[in-house]
């Protein structure tokens, strides 16, 4: 969770190469995919869905470990199952009501904690599931993240125009030939993938924060959708750098340190936009 | 279908959740013609517009469109996302790729050229309606479908909006299908009226519809009188519309 003490006799560079490089890469991958996905989710008011899938992901991890699979596949299975069930409900919008999502979210979390509790204690670290463990990223984790992110980016590029149209107005998008229902299901499935990717770094409780906070900062100074995505990525990068640095210097937990950095950046941006506005007057 | 028709609807029926919304509605849309659908709330006006535009496809009956028919559509309720930074210019490029001059021209036609670089979330409802009206003219449509284009617009703006729609029709040489709850404001621009209350009560020229017994039963004599006044005083639009209208249904 926190930076290990530099073992005596081993030079800085040797362990830097290893886990720090992996952590930085994992963080960069997360920032890259969180920016466009976070923007779409904020535009479509879906941030709460990522929270729900995140909470339910605990169950996925538990089941995954119980069946002795890689936990990320358990997470993906549970998240996709939820998304699919939601899409089967005839009225998609009412399926996404706060109540429904809260029920799924907390049932998943509670069930997950029970399952995890049944596992032998050395098999799982609940804290790292909840808050992430960037510094423990393995080469296999990195590979999973990379593949998932590339898949998501390809889907995003391919459907970007339609996704933006859908975000602006469902009615207009539908009238102009966007296959709204299909696209929405795709979006939910992509969020499921995203949760599985980001869990590694941020933990299930902090995923939504990284999707929402940098995006909100970016919105203050953006004039167009693509600009907002680019700025979100910069804010995400800033949060990552700030979080990892403070984690290193003050021995803070990395995931929470990244989130706090993102929030500090947001506050600074808010203050700046206030100042600029009052000067413009 | 003959060449001088854009669209023909035959016995179109539609039900939702056991409730009949449209009952065997038939009509035709000709080129460069303005057709107004009127009717009380819940008469199925928007449903019919959505069937014409293809948004609703699981209806009974038949819709024949001229091959390659291009339709521009302004839905009744457009929820515009306030969380997304979006300029008016980008809104016009949402699903198509019109050139700069095409965008300038479209916005100028609805008198909102000055809004081009504004954020969509900062527009008033009236401004937004005009921008969306401009949007429907992109891509040279043969037919534009406008579902209550003046909801949320004040009365003066409403009258100007209908004039603009008339001007668009003559400039673009396109047909217009207009949904309205208010016949007297659209009278002078309308070639054909479809009076709808689940079934097609009556249809035809505005003056004849306004005297039809079923129309009178739906809207009352007062509405018919105000139409009569209006049609005889085309040049005093503002005075007449300023009067409290007894037949409004919202």
- CB distance A168–B119 less than 8 Å? no
Best to test chain A binding among B94, B117, B147 (most A CBs inside 10 Å): B94
Q: For position A181, what pLDDT does the model report?
A: 85
Confidence of residue B238 (pLDDT cuts 50, 70, 90): very low
CA distance A40 to chain B (A): 9
Q: Does residue B164 have a pLDDT over 80?
A: yes
Residue A13 has a pLDDT of: 46
Question: B81 to chain A: which residues are within 8 Å by CB?
Answer: 43, 167-169
Instruction: Quote the pLDDT of residue B226.
Output: 59
Cβ of B84 within 8 Å of Cβ of A43? The answer is yes
Q: Which domains does chain A have, with CATH numbers?
A: 12-205 (1.10.3470.10)
Mean pLDDT across the stretch A118-124? 78
What domains can you pick out in chain B, each with its CATH number?
A: 1-70+140-250 (3.40.50.300), 73-139 (no CATH)
For residue B243, is pLDDT > 60? no
Q: Does B170 touch chain A (CB under 8 A)?
A: no
A177 contacts in chain B (CB < 8 Å): 95
- Closest Cα in chain A to B92: A165
| Predicted complex ipTM | 0.79
For the stretch A233-265, pLDDT in tens is 999 999 999 999 999 899 898 899 999 999 999
Non-local (6+) Cβ contacts of A210 within 8 A are A30, A34, A38, A198, A202, A236, A239, A258, A259, A262
Q: Rounded to a whole number, what is the distance in Å from the CA of A225 to chain B's nearest CA?
A: 6
Q: Which residues in A lie closer than 8 A to residue B86 (C-beta atoms)?
A: 168, 224-225
Those residues of chain A whose CB sits closer than 8 Å to some CB in chain B are 42-43, 45, 161-162, 164-165, 167-178, 219, 222-225, 227-228
Q: Does B98 touch chain A (CB under 8 A)?
A: no
pLDDT at B155 over 50: yes
Q: What is the pLDDT of residues B52-102, one digit of tens each?
A: 988 888 899 999 999 888 888 998 877 777 889 999 999 999 888 888 999
- Give the per-residue pLDDT at B81: 77
DSSP sequence for chain B: --TT-SEEEEEEEEEETTEEEEEEEEEEE-TT-EEEEE--TTSSHHHHHHHHHTS----EEEEEE-TT--EEEE-S-----SSS--BHHHHHTSSS---HHHHHHHHHHTT-GGGTTSBGGG--HHHHHHHHHHHHTTT--SEEEEESTTTT--HHHHHHHHHHHHHHHHHHT-EEEEE-S-HHHHGGG-SEEEEEESEEEEEESHHHHHTSHHHHHHHHHHHHHHHHHHHH-GGGHHHHHHSPPTT---
Cβ distance A176 to B87 less than 8 Å, yes or no, reads no
Contact by Cβ (8 Å): A196, B54: no
């Amino acid at each position: 969770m926190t930076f290990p003490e530099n073992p005596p006799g081993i030079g800085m560079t040797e362990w830097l190469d290893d886990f720090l490089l992996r952590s930085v890469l994992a963080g960069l991958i997360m920032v890259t995919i969180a920016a466009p996905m976070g923007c779409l989710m904020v535009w479509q008011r879906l941030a709460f869905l990522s929270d729900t899938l995140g909470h339910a992901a605990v169950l996925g991890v538990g089941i995954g470990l119980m069946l002795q699979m890689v936990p990320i596949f358990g997470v993906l299975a549970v998240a996709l199952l939820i998304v699919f069930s939601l899409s089967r409900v005839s009225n998609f919008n009412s399926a996404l009501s706060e109540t429904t999502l809260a029920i799924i979210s907390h049932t998943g979390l509670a069930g997950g904690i029970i399952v995890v509790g049944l596992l032998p204690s050395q098999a799982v670290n609940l804290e790292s599931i909840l808050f992430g463990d960037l510094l423990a990223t393995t080469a296999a984790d990195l590979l999973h993240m990379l593949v998932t992110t590339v898949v998501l980016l390809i889907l995003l590029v391919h459907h970007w125009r339609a996704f933006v149209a859908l975000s602006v107005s469902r009615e207009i998008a539908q009238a102009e030939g966007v296959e709204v229902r299909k696209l929405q299901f795709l979006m939910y499935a992509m969020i499921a993938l995203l949760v599985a990717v980001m869990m590694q770094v941020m933990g299930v409780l902090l995923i939504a924060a990284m999707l929402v906070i940098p995006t909100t900062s970016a919105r203050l100074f953006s004039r167009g959708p693509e600009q907002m995505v680019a700025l979100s990525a910069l804010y995400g990068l800033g949060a990552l750098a700030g979080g990892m640095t403070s984690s290193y210097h003050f021995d803070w937990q990395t995931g929470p340190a990244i989130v706090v950095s993102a929030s500090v950046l947001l506050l600074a941006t808010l203050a700046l936009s206030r100042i600029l506005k009052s000067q413009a007057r | 279908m003959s060449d001088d028709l854009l669209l023909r609807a035959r016995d179109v029926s539609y039900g939702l959740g056991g409730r009949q919304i449209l009952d065997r509605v038939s009509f035709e849309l000709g080129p460069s013609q303005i057709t107004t659908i009127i009717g009380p709330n819940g008469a199925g006006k928007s449903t019919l517009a959505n069937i014409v535009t293809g948004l609703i496809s699981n209806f009974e009956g038949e819709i024949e469109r001229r091959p390659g028919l291009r339709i521009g559509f302004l839905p009744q309720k457009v929820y515009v996302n306030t969380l997304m930074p979006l300029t008016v210019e980008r809104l016009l490029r949402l699903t198509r790729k019109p050139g700069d001059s095409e965008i300038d021209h479209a916005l100028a036609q609805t008198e909102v050229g000055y809004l081009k670089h504004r954020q969509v979330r900062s527009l008033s409802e009236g401004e937004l309606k005009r921008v969306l009206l401009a949007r429907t003219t992109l891509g040279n449509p043969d037919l534009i479908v406008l579902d209550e284009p003046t909801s949320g617009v004040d009365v003066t703006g409403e009258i100007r909006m209908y004039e603009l729609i008339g001007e668009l029709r003559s400039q673009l040489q396109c047909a217009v299908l207009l949904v309205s709850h208010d016949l007297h404001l659209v009278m002078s621009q309308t070639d054909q009226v479809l009076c709808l209350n689940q079934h097609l009560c009556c249809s035809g020229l505005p003056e004849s519809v306004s005297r039809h017994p079923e129309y009178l039963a739906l809207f009352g004599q007062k509405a018919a009188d105000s139409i009569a006044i209006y049609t005889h005083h085309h040049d005093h639009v503002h005075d007449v519309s300023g009067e409290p209208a007894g037949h409004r249904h919202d």
